[in-house]
Structure 1
Amino acid sequence: MLAQPINFLSWNVRGLNCPDRRSTVNATIASSSCHVVCLQETKLDNIDQFTAAFLGGHRLCSFAQRPANGTRGGILLLWDDLLLEMSNITFTTYCLSAMVRVRDSGVRFKITTVYGPTDPSLKDAFFAELISQKPPVGVAWIASGDFNQIYRARDKNKRNVNTSRINRFRATLTSCELKEIHLQNRRFTWSNERANPTLSKLDSFFCNADWDTTFNDHVLHALSSSLSDHCPLLLADDKGPRRPKTFKFENFWTSMPGFSEVVQKAWVEPVEHTEPHIILFHKPKKTAMRLSQWSRGLFSKAKVHLHAALLVILRLDIAQERRLLSPEELDLRARLKRRVISLAVLEKARKKQCARIANIKEGDA
């Protein structure tokens, strides 16, 4: 089980060439609190940094793309590069793949995003390409996207299914050693939006045994289809996606030993970008993350120290009722009392910053 769960969103968005559609996709991504987003059918032959940053928000600002062929197809991969490192990014006719490393744990796996062809004559080429993406033995692998292909007859609400093609797709999955991650709340992921609709399960997540063992707490749910005829699929740990905590600067940090060193060290950390505006975006973000880590370590210890100090003071108070304390004990007691006062001052400063003027007035009243 990972210390930091990694959540995935996959969605055929049916085009990002309209500002209103991009805004809707941005809202869906933001509400999902995911760390990796795989978008299919972007219909854009090029996606610049600004478009990707708008779609992914302030967290998912790193991206890779498989350009569309004119206004057909296209794949976009977005990720949080503070949590994940992507390498060996490659794209082929129907796939975009990368090796992923989870920064805090070092866990590695391969991710492949798929946008399969609708033309029946191209299906076998797609199946062969998917087999070619299979990583070496022992490497965890997850494949997601719009496969434009069912692998069971019950994945379509009508009887007109191509059994031969289903069998070839199943053979491909077997050759890749992939198994489907069960979709919890829907039978189908696509509709042709007609009065008597055809419904199919064209979008899926598949994984191999190594990935399933590492991410065994993840469950798959479908979200509202929103602007698309495909519904987004959210693969998140079983506790559900959690919004990242908002960074709050504590005023008293500046008076704590080690503050300047943490800021200076974080600011000079290398950034894997060359554009000045992107570097300027990442440096304060990384500094905030380092300050949060420093604060957690500092004040988790401070609470332990406070309780220990109070316990020792209590023991000395009890001892003083029966005998005279030694000079060493008196000195220890005095130093511990000063430590308790200093911790109380910090807590007061913290509460003062958190409190609103309205709350203070109401409390006085």
Structure 2
Amino acid sequence: DTKGGILLLWDDSVVTVTNVQIGVYFFSATVAINNYGDDKTFKLTTVYGPTRSINKDAFYLELTSEKPPPGTKWLVNGDFNQIYRARDKNRANVVRSRLVRFRNALNTCELKEIHMQNRKFTWSNEQSNPTMSKLDSFFCNEDWDIEFATHILHALSSSLSDHCPLLLANDVGPKKPKSFRFENYWTKMPGFQCVVSEAWTEISCHVEPYQRLFHKLKRTGQKLRSWSKTLFSNSKVQLHMALEVILRLDLAQEQRELSLEERDL
């Protein structure tokens, strides 16, 4: 498969990732939540399932081979490119023998699904009368489920892909990152060049070149952040409004065919 893959990213200040293993269709690692000891350590397996039918059984076999020893907390997620229930597709043309084989693999692994709170499907072929399936999922074993009992899974807006992103978090939600984020559209807005020029040419008390560069970049970022809040206070609100509209259309599409105006929107 050349249209997808697996990318695992993490924050070193929050978790420690070790024992990385890579297979044909999976990526596994041991994840330890910092400052919580062994009780908050679990195995994470991320998969990208094959699209070709001839490779499905090899994928199921590889998945079952990753089952950890008893007592190990295990979380499995990714694009499985396969459903295990007929209701996870909005069409009747499902290959039931593959459903059974996938379900048997999940049972062998002793995995149960973490159900989404707000959607039935995660993928659409984006046609006027679309085919939709639940190809992306999170599964866990009983040990993981008991340890992280407050988890909740939501689908986000499918604004950038034919798949919708899935967010698994505890019931209080993820922490908001505080790092500086540069917005590409800033360069096209009036006043950008002036803000950068004034911030960059301010007199610095540092002598070492790397310190001067660091503080120039930091000061420029601070000035841009203040400038953007002043001039574009509504931009984030507008972005989230647009994402909310897309999500609501995603949900509506699961119940009925969208109108031409809705698809254009």
**2:41 maps to what in 1?**
108
Question: Distance in 2 between the 1:241 and 1:234 partners?
Answer: 9
TM-score by length of 2: 0.65
Question: Distance in 2 between the 1:216 and 1:143 partners?
Answer: 16
Question: Distance in 2 between the 1:112 and 1:238 partners?
Answer: 22
**1:218 maps to what in 2?**
151
Residue 126 of structure 1, CA deviation: 0.3
Question: Distance in 1 between the 2:44 and 2:20 partners?
Answer: 10
Give 1:325-340 correspondences, 5 Å limit.
none
Give 1:343-358 correspondences, 5 Å limit.
none
Equivalent of 1:91 in 2, 9, 22 = 22
The letter for the 1-side match of 2:7 is: L
Residue 173 of structure 1, CA deviation: 0.3
Residue 72 of structure 1, CA deviation: 4.3
Equivalent of 1:193 in 108, 126, 141 = 126
Equivalent of 1:173 in 106, 109, 126 = 106
Task: Determine if the alignment matches structure 1 residue 152 to structure 2 residue 90.
Answer: no
**1:207 maps to what in 2?**
140
Give 1:190-339 correspondences, 5 Å limit.
190-244=123-177
The letter for the 2-side match of 1:140 is: K
Equivalent of 2:5 in 68, 74, 95 = 74
Residue 245 of structure 1, CA deviation: 6.0
Question: Distance in 1 between the 2:5 and 2:125 partners?
Answer: 20
Regions of 4+ moved over 3 Å: none
The letter for the 1-side match of 2:113 is: E
* Secondary structure at 2:8 match in 1: strand
Residue 222 of structure 1, CA deviation: 0.1
Residue 73 of structure 1, CA deviation: 3.3
Unpaired segments ≥5 residues, structure 1? 1-68, 247-276, 282-365
Higher helix content, 1 or 2: 1
* Secondary structure at 2:163 match in 1: coil
* Secondary structure at 2:20 match in 1: strand
Residue 242 of structure 1, CA deviation: 2.5
Q: In the TM superposition, what whole-angstrom CA distance separates every residue of 1:67-120 from its partner, at most 9, and x where no partner exists?
A: xx7x44321100011111111101100000000111110211000111000001
Residue 240 of structure 1, CA deviation: 2.0
Give 1:126-165 correspondences, 5 Å limit.
126-165=59-98
Number of equivalenced pairs:
180
Residue 130 of structure 1, CA deviation: 0.3
The letter for the 2-side match of 1:154 is: R
* Secondary structure at 1:158 match in 2: coil
Question: Distance in 2 between the 1:72 and 1:90 partners?
Answer: 22
The letter for the 1-side match of 2:141 is: N
Unpaired segments ≥5 residues, structure 2? 180-209, 215-265
Q: In the TM superposition, what whole-angstrom CA distance separates every residue of 1:310-363 from its partner, at most 9, and x where no partner exists?
A: xxxxxxxxxxxxxxxxxxxxxxxxxxxxxxxxxxxxxxxxxxxxxxxxxxxxxx
Q: CA RMSD in A?
A: 1.9
Residue 244 of structure 1, CA deviation: 4.5
* Secondary structure at 1:76 match in 2: coil
